Amino acid sequence: MNQPPPTPEDDDRPTYRLVRPIVPSTPQRPRETLQASPLRRTESPMHHSPLRRLLLGKLPLETETAFFLLVNLIDFFVTYYLLMAGGRGNLRFVESNPVARYFIDSWGPVKGMLGFKLAVVAFICVLAQAIALKRVDLARGVLLIGILATGAVVAYSLSLWLRHA
**Spatial contact of 103 and 113, defined as CB atoms under 8 Å apart:** yes
pLDDT digits (tens, 9 = 90+) for 114-164: 999 999 999 999 999 999 989 999 999 999 999 999 999 999 999 988 888
The candidate with the shortest Cα–Cα distance to 143, out of 57, 49, 70, is 70
Rg (CA), the chain: 34
- Could you report how far apart the first and last alpha carbons of the chain are, in Å? 104
Distances in whole angstroms, Cα of residue 60 to Cα of each of 69, 121, 133: 15, 17, 9
pLDDT in tens, 79-116: 998 888 876 666 778 888 899 999 999 998 889 999 99
What local confidence, expressed as pLDDT, does residue 99 receive?
94
